[in-house]
Chain A
Amino acid sequence: MTLGDLPALTSARVVDVFDTVEDDSISRRLRELGFVKGEPVKVVGRGVFGGDPLLVQIGFTRFALRRSEAARITVERL
């Protein structure tokens, strides 16, 4: 499943971040920020309007990711 499908407050691990276009700079940035294979990840909150953006905990940091950004990240539940 992708990070966008992960229920809130469920522990998961990153499987992969895939490119949606060639040389996807958003995916590259996500990998730089720590979305790499094996990293524990959790959705800790959602936006008020349509559940967008997502509030994501990765490493020691929280990021706001739009759904389209979170959709690039595949995760597995722990």
Chain B
Amino acid sequence: MTSALTIALVGNPNCGKTALFNQLTGARQKVANYAGVTVERKEGEFTAPSGRKVRVIDLPGTYSLLAMGPDEIVTRDVCLGLHNEVRPDLIVCVIDATNLRLHLRFVLEVKQLGRPMIVALNMMDATVARGISIDREKLAQALGLTVIETVGIKAGGTRALIEFIDSAATPALPVPASVPEDLHAEVRRLLDATVVMPSRTSAIDDMLDRIFLSPLAGLLILFTVMFVVFQAVFAGAAPLMELIKTGFDWLSAVAEQTMPEGLLRSFVRDCLIGGLGSVVVFLPQILILFLFILSLEESGYLPRAAFLLDKPMSMAGLTGRSFIPLLSSFACAIPGIMATRSIHDHRDRMTTILIAPLMTCSARLPVYTLLIGAFIPEQTIAGFLSFRGLVLFALYLAGISGGVLVSMVITWFRRDKTEHSLIMELPSYRLPNIRNLGIGLLERARIFLRRITGTIFAANTILWVLTTFPGKPVGATGPAIDYSMAGIVGHAMQVLFAPIGFNWQICVALIPGLTAREVAVSALGTVYSVSASGNEAAQQLGNLIAGQWPLATGMSLLAWYVFAPQCMSTLAVIRRETGSWKMVGITAGYLFVLAYIASFVAYHLTLALT
């Protein structure tokens, strides 16, 4: 029995490394972060025919060992043998057989290190279609390395690689590190000697790029793709979300009936079941969104979309790659923030995360609907435009303008003013592989459920304690929440919120409303002791606040919901994605200040005008 072996997959971005990794390890993958950085660490395992266990590490793709960002630094350190978490016995350098001019240079760079390595000549299936022939043995000889052909997307496409790893008695032999000074010249020499390539580009890629990147058809297709993605996330997820909600409501009802009345029942029903439900309900949106994002990424379209949109986005201090995460944030900021991983420039990624909560998410709609219904008269403008619709549109617009403004301010104040680079490869178009999509989706779902649930559960527990204790005194007449700590805090908060026109009822409702924005509606219902449920409750509540609140308060609360950090799930996902409480603090802080200013202006402007 031989001991376990650790191999690391390295290679340029788009070399098919992740598909190869999936092929080798199947769904048995662990995804974590490298200590101290937010670089994803993917690890898997397989057992070779001889019974030898092989641990596989999928390193972040890089063009060079002269690292430019945190991902590339991890890859460099592992290749150099300097990393203290991952020390591979063997480096497998994966290269795309159709893109050797670029990828062979990296092979030579890794070879210079003189560490044990082999080369996986991947995507061999694509060479056939393009009429490319590669003399593998000659290439291996010229490189002085073992070269193995692989097909990452085909079952059995890694057999030769597994056999080699299994049979090599001591694959841990360092390779001779003699590499000529000029790597590019050496690559040209290797290509001339071993590769016959009828054309430098693929005819299909040329044709598709002419369509997808053209001004008219390109933008039209982009618009259509975005529309479909947005619709699918927004509307397609709705029935599933309803189903999950119904399921958790049923569970609550079961708890209600089977458990004796008391604190335990309230905890199980409101905190355990309710809290879990408020998180799991986002899962359909996340899965649908990532199904699209992963397909777009795998097919090669995502970089094309970024190409089309880079100019307008860069004028706002962002990058073309910010577009999809921001678009997703209109459904929900959580998947949007998770999607920022495809932004390579760290600064651009942080800016995108910071402004994602300003995109009007679907959870704001119930609040907007309540307030618009209560305070905005239904009238038709210019014969066909609904005034209420216009106000809703203005709220969306306020969020977007806020985002652009914040992004520009961040760019203005950032200390690191060095040029942001785009330099983005537009890889060959490929059909997405079902298996890879499945594994990718599973991974996102796991990350979301495992990492977020803990934080949300803790936050929910705190909120439950705040809204439950010390409890209603005997003989008290108001709603229970009024006598809780949240009630007390809410009353105290009113000092702070009086200048923007909030009464104590709003202040109290804002506290449970932190779990999710739409909860504020039911919380207001609780505070005002509205006895009906569902749509009828919203109707009753609407009439009630329309009668009791001044118009200015309504406007102020609308403005508040455009900006305020009223969603702890978003803050939790920011913590998870950036690994930094500071980012959470900055996001919550600036959103709070912005919301306060916007509400102040809205309140006093309305007061002055009416």
Interface residues of A (CB under 8 A from B): 21, 25-26, 28-30, 32-34, 36, 39, 44-45, 47-50, 52-53, 55, 57, 59-66, 68-69
Contact = CB atoms under 8 A, between A and B. Distances in A.
Interface residues of B, number: 38
B421 A34 contact: no
Q: Which residue of A29, A64, A65 has the most chain B CB atoms within 10 A of its CB atom?
A: A64
A33 B63 contact: yes
22 contacts: A29-B423, A33-B63, A34-B102, A34-B105, A36-B184, A47-B307, A47-B310, A47-B311, A53-B307, A53-B311, A57-B201, A60-B102, A62-B209, A63-B423, A63-B425, A63-B426, A64-B303, A64-B307, A64-B425, A64-B426, A66-B314, A66-B421
Q: Which residue of B66, B213, B306, B422 has the most chain A CB atoms within 10 A of its CB atom?
A: B422
Interface of B: 63-64, 66, 68, 98-102, 105, 184, 197, 200-201, 205-206, 209-210, 213, 215, 218-219, 303, 306-308, 310-312, 314, 418-419, 421-426
Contacts of B423: 26, 29-30, 33, 63-65, 69
Contact of A52 (B66, B200, B310): B310
A57 B63 CA distance: 17
A64 B64 contact: no
Contacts, number: 99
Given A29-B423, A48-B215, A55-B426, A66 B310 contact: yes
Given A25-B68, A30-B423, A65-B423, A59 B200 contact: yes
B98 A60 contact: yes
B307 A55 contact: yes
A60 B201 contact: yes
B310 A60 contact: no
A30 B184 CA distance: 12
Given A29-B63, A32-B64, A65-B422, 20 more contacts: A26-B421, A26-B423, A29-B68, A29-B423, A32-B105, A34-B101, A34-B184, A39-B184, A47-B310, A47-B311, A55-B213, A55-B426, A57-B200, A59-B200, A60-B98, A60-B197, A62-B425, A64-B425, A68-B419, A69-B421
Given A32-B105, A69-B421, A45 B63 contact: no
Contacts of A47: 307-308, 310-311
A54 to B, nearest CB: 10
B69 to A, nearest CB: 10
B490 to A, nearest CB: 48
Contact of A61 (B66, B206, B422, B425): B425
